[in-house]
């Protein structure tokens, strides 16, 4: 989530007027499956 905020991947969508959700996903390298996720709403 820190990387998403630091690199501002959401910036191109900021002027859309829509609510923006930041979604971070973690994949387990051994099982190759989704291991966890975080979801935050961006407060502009």
Q: What average pLDDT does the chain have? A: 93
d(C-alpha 32, C-alpha 29), whole Å: 5
Identify the pLDDT of residue 44: 67
Average pLDDT over residues 4-14: 94
Per the structure, the complete domain to which residue 11 belongs is given by 2-41
pLDDT of residue 11 exceeding 90: yes
| CA dist., res. 15 & res. 20, Å (int) | 10
Determine the straight-line distance between the first and last CA of the chain, rounded to whole angstroms: 16
Average pLDDT (6-23) is 94
Residue 43: the pLDDT is 80
Class of residue 20 by CB neighbours under 10 A (exposed 0-12, middle 13-18, buried 19+): middle
Based on the structure, what is the number of domains in the chain? Answer: 1
Q: To which H or E segment does residue 3 belong?
A: helix 2-6
């Amino acid at each position: 989530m820190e990387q998403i905020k630091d690199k501002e991947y959401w910036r191109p969508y900021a002027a859309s007027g829509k609510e923006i959700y930041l979604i971070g996903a973690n994949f387990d390298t051994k099982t190759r499956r989704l291991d966890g996720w975080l979801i935050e709403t961006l407060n502009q």
